[in-house]
Amino acid sequence: MWALVGRALAPWAAGARHAAASEPRAACRLFSAAELKEKPDMSRFPVEDIRNFSIIAHVDHGKSTLADRLLELTGTIDKTKKNKQVLDKLQVERERGITVKAQTASLFYSFGGKQYLLNLIDTPGHVDFSYEVSRSLSACQGVLLVVDANEGIQAQTVANFFLAFEAQLSVIPVINKIDLKNADPERVGKQIEKVFDIPSEECIKISAKLGTNVDSVLQAVIERIPPPKVHRENPLKALVFDSTFDQYRGVIANIALFDGVVSKGDKIVSAHTKKAYEVNEVGILNPNEQPTHKLYAGQVGFLIAGMKDVTEAQIGDTLHLHNHPVEPLPGFKSAKPMVFAGVYPIDQSEYNNLKSAIEKLTLNDSSVTVHRDSSLALGAGWRLGFLGLLHMEVFNQRLEQEYNASVILTTPTVPYKAVLSSAKLIKEYKEKEITIINPAQFPEKSKVTEYLEPVVLGTVITPTEYTGKIMALCQARRAIQKNMTFIDENRVMLKYLFPLNEIVVDFYDSLKSLSSGYASFDYEDAGYQAAELVKMDILLNGNMVEELVTVVHREKAYTVGKSICERLKESLPRQLYEIAIQAAVGSKVIARETVKAYRKNVLAKCYGGDITRKMKLLKRQSEGKKKLRKIGNIEIPKDAFIKVLKTQPNK
């Protein structure tokens, strides 16, 4: 997937140790604290004194803690006990204890009588944010691969290593948490040697929490990571690898300079939109924004150029000087959404506010795709594509926290494909293979030759005692085993081919509970495969509810249908007439639940008398209910929708 970017970055990343010989070497005078408060002169750092690196790891292996210690050690932030997750600026990151956005910080570090400029990027660890990691690696020449001395190599460690390997970056393995009681750095070193083919003696053993041996990490960055291979005398060529939106200043673009120099007042052009802008401010992140006079090739910083519209700062875009066009960098392969969900405002009067919030948030998180959508029950809204379920939850939480938006989120679905059968349909859709992101638009079996469902190659790393349970769980999810490797005597790595819709909702939770929290899981896209899929409609008194239409595998249709009917029965308010809730595949009803009617006691006034009088009253009542059922319109209240859509079916 990343071969293109890897090849494009190779000349910059594979890296010679020295910059062009023609470049004059600047005097290496150290910055004082007073100078740092003002605009630092970035020309003091020749290319050979710059190192750009990322920290990558599995979730909770100590990336953010190591970043905190590096910031303290270089004097970027003061040493206090409050320094926890300094680079995790979002509320959702602090609440959940995870990194969602990659964050950049420029560090000044003195070593061997010289002052070096180290640009650090702290990246997320969860599989749903791997796109964020791969974008960050494009601005680096090396990575710190952090591994927990207690947990050892886990699924995301493997995935992140191969992202860095593909981009041809130098990898420095760091074994963290050596202060823990059960830590076994020697065992972890052997795992790293076996899985990644990096000699165990190259591993740096540290405790980021206590600060033990962290200074050797900075020395290794200087000694083992090459400087960027760039040319400052060439015209400006800068890559936008991230961006945020500020209400007052417009778009703030994070840039990596491949060639040239940029300063305030320069006229720049976007290679993507061809629009010209005047640079209002440039600077470094230290870790907060710190303006500088100029930014030079090889450096990483931010740029503000009066981009007012969120669509103007495309991530992966190349910026160049006006009248000096350059060959655009290949940019990034667009992220491939794995999960789709409908997003609707709780109140339609909030539609425009929600639209603005989604636009601003998708600029900040470019891996989300947006399609307009509408529904009879929920009104106008959008169908958004996410990289995973956690990504969807975090996006929803950020909408609520940062933009005060309340939304209804529908059941997540995955993108299916259908191969059309007739020439007439191919002409109508203008392609033979169509992608379906909304289950309501799933074509009938008569129109297609076959259905395709997305599959992923999943990696599970688990202690050996849980292997049997986990293999049974994978088989229940229609997975096909591809490989099984013993990392050491206690840990095993399993590779399975999973249908995406089987793992997207609750697989991770089931895996964690089966393995007492020890197993880890990561997956990568593996294309599509043919499958027996059916569209399941939910009917209320014979009328279809479009929002509850789902696509399921034929084998699981009954289980999922029964589950949805049961939850609807609990959520729907009773009426004066009976409501039949049915799950149907085509014309065949496969599951049914009934909401009983309220019944007025029409016999209350009959204290005695002939039975025919009572029968007459009951007959009239039942006829009235039949008539009411014909003309009665069942409106599902929004809170009932929310209950059904938020609770996931048991698979």
C-beta separation of 511 from 460 below 8 A: yes
* 63 annotated ligand-binding residue: yes
To the question of whether residue 62 is assigned a binding role by annotation, the answer is yes
All domains in the chain, ordered by first residue: 47-224 (3.40.50.300), 237-321 (2.40.30.10), 339-409 (3.30.70.870), 416-531 (3.30.70.240), 535-645 (3.30.70.2570)
In angstroms, what CA-CA distances link 8 with 139, 257, 320? 12, 14, 17
Q: What is the pLDDT of residue 98?
A: 62
pLDDT at 13: 41
Q: What pLDDT shows up at residue 618?
A: 81
Report d(CA 505, CA 604) in Å as an integer: 51
The answer to whether 497 touches 478, Cβ cutoff 8 Å, is no
CA 19 to CA 571: how far, in whole Å? 68
What are the two backbone dihedrals, phi and then psi, of residue 326, each rounded to the nearest 5 degrees?
-130, 165
Q: Is 410 annotated as a binding residue?
A: no
Residue with tokens 């239409």: 549
Q: Is 246 marked within a binding site? A: no
Q: Look up tokens 């129109």; give the residue.
A: 447
Q: Please tell me whether 584 is known to bind a ligand.
A: no
CA dihedral 604, 610, 611, 615 (to 10 degrees): -70
Q: How far apart are the first and last CA of the chain?
A: 31
Query: Are the CB atoms for 523 and 503 separated by under 8 Å?
Result: yes
Q: Three-state SS string across 514-532, please?
A: HCCCCCEEEEEEEEEEEEC
| Pairwise CA distance, residues 604 & 619, whole Å | 15
Separation of CA 453 from chain center: 21
Largest CA distance in the chain: 116
The answer to the question of whether 65 is labelled as a binding residue is no
pTM of the model: 0.68
Q: Please, are residues 258 and 295 in contact by the beta-carbon 8 Å criterion?
A: no
Which residues does the chain have with pLDDT short of 50? 1-30, 32-36, 647-651
Confirm whether residue 79 is marked as ligand binding: no
DSSP assigned state of 84 = S
- Cα distance between residue 638 and residue 408, in whole Å: 9
370 is in an annotated binding site: no
Q: What does the alpha-carbon distance between residue 551 and residue 531 come to, in Å, rounded to a whole number?
A: 11
Query: Using CA atoms, how far apart are residues 403 and 395, in angstroms rounded to an integer?
Result: 11
Residue 371 assigned ligand-binding role: no
Q: Is 163 helix (H, G, I), strand (E, B) or coil?
A: helix
The response to whether 177 counts as a known ligand-binding position is yes
Q: What pLDDT is attached to residue 636?
A: 61
Tokens at residue 186, please?
Answer: 């020697």
Residue pair 396/412 in contact by the 8 Å Cβ criterion = no
Residue in the block written with tokens 């494909």 = 417
Could you give phi then psi for residue 20, rounded to 5 degrees? -55, 135
CB-CB contact of 139 with 122 (8 Å): no
The first and second tokens of residue 593, run together, are 């639940």
Predicted local distance difference test score (pLDDT) of residue 33: 45
Instruction: Give residue 17's pLDDT.
Output: 35
Residue 212 annotated in ligand binding: no
- Tokens of residue 109, six digits: 């570090």
Is 219 in contact with 233 (CB distance < 8 Å)? no
369, 340, 317: which is closest to 439 by C-alpha?
340
Establish whether 537 is an annotated binding residue. Answer: no
pLDDT of residue 275: 82
Residues 251, 256, 261, 262: what is their CA dihedral angle, to the nearest 10 degrees? 10
Instruction: Return phi, psi of residue 269, to 5°.
Output: -130, 140
Reduced to 3 states (helix: H, G, I; strand: E, B; else coil), residue 599 is coil
Contact (Cβ atoms closer than 8 angstroms) between residue 165 and residue 142: no
The single-letter DSSP state of residue 422 is S
Does the annotation list 506 as a binding residue?
no
Question: Is residue 344 classed exposed, middle or buried when 0-12, 13-18 and 19+ CB atoms within 10 A define those classes?
Answer: buried
Whether 61 has a binding-site annotation, put simply, is yes
Strands (E), 389-447: 407-409, 416-420, 433-436
CA 281 to chain centre: 30
| Beta-strand pair 50-57/114-122 | parallel
* Number of residues that this document lists for the chain: 651
User: DSSP characters for 569-598?
Assistant: HHHSPP-SS-EEEEEEETTEEEEEEEEPPP
At which residue do the structure tokens 């020295």 appear?
A: 18
Is 126 flagged in the annotation as binding? Answer: yes
User: Does 467 show up as a binding residue in the annotation?
Assistant: no
- 148 a known binding residue? no
